[in-house]
Structure 1
Amino acid sequence: MAENKTNVMRILEQHKIPYTPHEYPHGKEAVDGVHVAELLGQDVKQVFKTLVARGKSGSIYVFVIPVAEELNLKKAAKAVGEKAMEMIHVKELLGLTGYVRGGCSPVGLKKPYPVTLHESANDIPTIIVSAGKIGYQIELAPADLIALVQAKTADLIS
């Protein structure tokens, strides 16, 4: 898989962060995260999706939650000190993050937006997030991801 290195993998290597790359069969369209976990043969509690939202202040935030869960916008707003939170429109994703839907990673974002991981990441040895491209995932220690993107953890799901 070395020939299919993504920018996210290069960033992890630059920071000497160990990771395991995973690849799953894909077309051009995003696959839902639960299906990705199945394709990878991984526990859905270990596979996380990256969501981008806008606070009432206009600031952009990145939330990383288990794929089978829904982001609770009230809890997300509270976690980052906003009065309210709304998901960005999918057509804004590439311009804001540099990533397409289904390939959005908390690593290597266009700008260093605040990142919050769901607190369950602290309870498992490794988590799997997008490697920045549809069909590619990376598995790494939650503490390494948190340190790299200066994330915090909070209760983000209903």
Structure 2
Amino acid sequence: MIKLLSTFVVALFTSVTLMANDGIDKPVKEKAEMDIVDLAASTDFLSTLVAAVKAGDLVDVLKGDGPFTVFAPTNEAFAKLPAGTVESLLKPENKDKLIAVLTYHVVPGIVKSTDLKDGQKAKTVQGQEVTVSLKGGKAMIDNATVTAADIEATNGIVHVIDSVILPK
């Protein structure tokens, strides 16, 4: 978890530094000044998620007012899926399946880690519910462990998870 958080901080610092040093006089964006999509796009370990959001035409939705809570699977989480699954979901003919998977990772409103309770159910934008488990000091959303929590964006909050959760 420390490595994951370190990677996130380095990626965020790098993106802020690049924006500050682009030769244009403009305010530096900080984490809390980025929406969910820009936050994810500035983080290398969420690049598969960003590609999927683009393929599903969900960028404008997740850049919207929200607020949203996003359970963001890492690139490693996507790599755990059976071989060919990600490539298949990214094909235009599977866009509806991709949207169902992605919207299953989004809950309307703000759900902070301090709000989570063992056995809690949360209805996703996809329509089904995810289940929260609290075990050994770790929060789980369905079968995914939250590895970084409460990352604030202008239109919501992001919790990084180590597995892709799938609707039933």
Q: Is TM-score (shorter-chain normalized) higher than 0.5?
A: no
TM-score under structure 2 normalisation? 0.27
Higher relative contact order (CA 8 A, sep 6+): 1
Larger radius of gyration: 2
TM-score under structure 1 normalisation? 0.28
Q: Which has the higher helix share?
A: 2
